[in-house]
Amino acid sequence: MQVIRTRRDIRNWRSEVSGWVGLVPTMGALHAGHMSLVDVAGQENDHICVSIFVNPRQFGSKSDFATYPRTTDEDLSMLQDAGVDAVFMPDAGEMYAGSARTSIHVADLTDRLEGASRPGHFDGVCLVVSKLFNLVQPDHAYFGWKDAQQVRVIQQMVDDLDMPVQIRPMPTVRDDDGLALSSRNCGLTISGRESARHIPAALELVEQAVRNGEFSVDLIRRRAIEHLSGAEDLEVDYVQIVDLESLQPLDRIDRPALVLIAAICDDIRLIDNLLVSSV
Ligand code: PAF
């Protein structure tokens, strides 16, 4: 496995390999969710490249960036064991040398949900992801569905800019208690984790309600919020039910829809979602 730290070297690596390349962009602190992406990338491509870069441009507060978990040695050993060919691990000076002035803004999809609470976040994501696509030139790129809005925004950017890469969203991986895996979960206290479990449980209630023929968004949202309010120390940011394509709020679940929850627990932002459809 090659560990590559410069843009020049990753370009050289790309020009030397032939066949399909799968890219798994990450910010490190890898867990089983990331490794499931690596696994599928290995099945679908001739070469796997994983990037590890905690991207300062997508963080609102400096302290969130500074405290983001970093576990480089463990990450590299997991990737080595998984048969990854190249790990691209630039530092911020290398990635943004010459202070990038370009921004990529995907209109409409980015001003709501996570974008409302984290202004500029998706511009930062789009900038770094498009730089990674330009440098690695992958045939396929793998993203976790836990960040459903991110997947939707990146897909839109790729379509709008005719980027020659296929986006492959992969299912959320969960712990035994249902909590969606996230690099941030390691910061939860025992009682915080108890509270956080209300998030997947609320989504399960929603799934059950839709299965039982309940399509009123108002009613379903109220049920989910009521369940979440039973959790101590869980500050709900939003529970939204939106159209899968436009991310616009719905009144009724009469088409493929996303149920999205964001909440703060132990100062950690947790997000999760569920795909539902009335048909
Ligand atoms: O989902 C993430 O880990 C990040 O947003 C990504 C896609 C690696 C861009 O920094």
Q: Does the CB atom of residue 90 touch ligand 1 within 6 A?
A: no
Task: Give the residue ranges of the chain where pLDDT is below 70.
Answer: 279
Tens-place pLDDT, residues 32-59: 999 999 999 999 999 999 999 999 999 9
The set of catalytic residues is: 34
Question: What pLDDT is recorded for position 223?
Answer: 96
Question: What pLDDT is recorded for position 64?
Answer: 85
Strand order from edge to edge, sheet including 166-170: 2-4, 86-88, 47-52, 21-26, 140-144, 166-170
Question: What pLDDT is recorded for position 278?
Answer: 74
Helix then strand then coil, % of the chain, to nearest 5? 45, 20, 35
Question: What pLDDT is recorded for position 197?
Answer: 97
Q: Does the CB atom of residue 147 touch ligand 1 within 6 A?
A: yes
| Residue 129: both structure tokens together | 């992801």
Report all structural domains of the chain as residue ranges with CATH numbers, in order of start. 2-170 (3.40.50.620), 183-272 (3.30.1300.10)
Question: What pLDDT is recorded for position 95?
Answer: 97
Query: Which helix (H) or strand (E) segment is 129 a member of?
Result: helix 121-136
User: How do 2-4 and 86-88 pair as beta strands?
Assistant: parallel
**How many whole angstroms separate alpha carbon 106 and alpha carbon 153?**
7
DSSP structure string for 65-92: HHHS---HHHHHHHHHHTT-SEEE---H
Atom 9 of ligand 1 has which residue's CA nearest to it?
125
Atom 1 of ligand 1 has which residue's CA nearest to it?
26
Q: Does the CB atom of residue 25 touch ligand 1 within 6 A?
A: yes
Give, in degrees to the nearest 5, the angle at Cα 211 between 210 and 213: 65
Tell if the pTM clears 0.75, that is, is over it.
Answer: yes
Sign, Cα dihedral of 260, 266, 269, 270: negative
**Cβ-contact 173, 39 below 8 angstroms:** no
DSSP structure string for 141-181: EEEEGGGHHHHHHHHHHHHHTT-S-EEEEEPPPB-TTSPBP
Q: How much distance in Å is there from the Cα of 228 to the middle of ligand 1?
A: 27
Question: What pLDDT is recorded for position 99?
Answer: 77
Question: What pLDDT is recorded for position 73?
Answer: 98
- Token match 């120390």: residue? 233
Atom of ligand 1 nearest to the CA of 55: 10
Question: What pLDDT is recorded for position 279?
Answer: 66
Question: What pLDDT is recorded for position 98?
Answer: 76
**Residues in the chain, overall count:** 279
Q: How much distance in Å is there from the Cα of 27 to the middle of ligand 1?
A: 6
Tens-place pLDDT, residues 101-146: 999 999 999 999 999 999 999 999 999 999 999 999 999 999 999 9
Q: Does the CB atom of residue 26 touch ligand 1 within 6 A?
A: yes
Q: How much distance in Å is there from the Cα of 208 to the middle of ligand 1?
A: 31
